[in-house]
Structure 1
Amino acid sequence: MQVKVVLRSDHVSAMLDKVAIISGGGSGHEPAHAGFVGEGMLSAAICGEVFASPQVDAILAGIRAVTGPMGCLLIVKNYTGDRLNFGLAAEQAKSEGYKVETVIVGDDCAFTSTSRHSWTKRVAGAAAAAGLSLDEVAAEAKRASEMVGTMGVALSVCTLPGQVTSDRLGPGKMELGLGIHNEPGAALADLQPVEVVVSHVLQQILSPVC
């Protein structure tokens, strides 16, 4: 297995007195997640294969590399593979004596259930840089996650290298809430003026159930 972990260049000194912030996921969504590594944001990003969650051993390697006495916070997207693998890595790290907390980020308002993600990283990174404790950083990240909602509108689907592009979105069509891995969205609709689309999206995001 190839471990793909991007670390802050100053992670050795940063881990001495700061909570480490770790996130990650499948590749193919750049600049996420490696592009968020740096001062005031992520301490490490764990990169899986294209559209595939990183393996438990890779996540554990990232935790070991950047986590010091203050512990680490894992920021995890609300995807089954990410939740499973980051959760298993967190439990393994705890068994090795590391202090680990996890915040699950679900912001997709298309289905009123599930990326607060980049915003949560910024808040968690700022809280860690300010020297807050692990519990305090986790609380700030959770609060930030609960206050953000998103909804995507797609005019085409994404394509993996070497694969045939799906034609499920015909000419003059758009898909509301299309997933980042081509998961079916909430609705397929005719193209509308941008004002109409934005109004619909905002109504969904601001609804009490989002």
Structure 2
Amino acid sequence: MDTTKTADPTAPEADTAEPQAAEAKADVKADAKADVKADVKDAPAGESAEATEPALSDEELEDALEDALDDELDATEKVSDGVGAAASAVVAAGLGLVALSGSWVSRVIAERQTLVGQIESVNAATTEAKIQALYGDAWHMTALVNGVLSTLALLLAVFVLARPAFGAPGRTLPTWVRAVSWAAVALGALGVLLFGFMYFDILAPLPKAA
């Protein structure tokens, strides 16, 4: 015996919620909820109650909308993180390369220091002091500025590689982003060592006067 009750075409549609009044500042959840309820209301009256009531209670509908919004926000966040990581990796590699080849900033600062050294060399008491004022200080400033750039490149590359493990667990970087980041790490570490040795006169010490 079929116990399914067929909806009465003449009966009022009491099972469906009345359309919500349109508001100027209605959010996304309210709009989606109103659309789903409107679809249920417009369904043919001859359909069975089971066909027109697929568990569309207010609580279940709200949960479904929240899950959909969470998935959309998560996908947007993943895209944003990927773009940021790629840009950071490229910037880190560029900084490491510029530091090793010599930046315009370091050259300008070195030339300024050379001018200062020429002024100070007038009052230099010894030849060593004059050499230090004319050349040593400028070389040290060049090594210092390029060393700072190399350090920034190294830190930025390490941050890009470490972020998926700490800031966003479960996410992996694209292969090319990891490759560029590791290249930036190598360039940055090489620059830190090279310019550190130059700054402390280990790699290229100042010449001594006869």
TM interval, shorter chain, is: under 0.3
Q: Tell me which structure has the larger Cα radius of gyration.
A: 2
TM-score relative to the length of structure 2: 0.20
In proportion to residue count, which structure has more strand?
A: 1
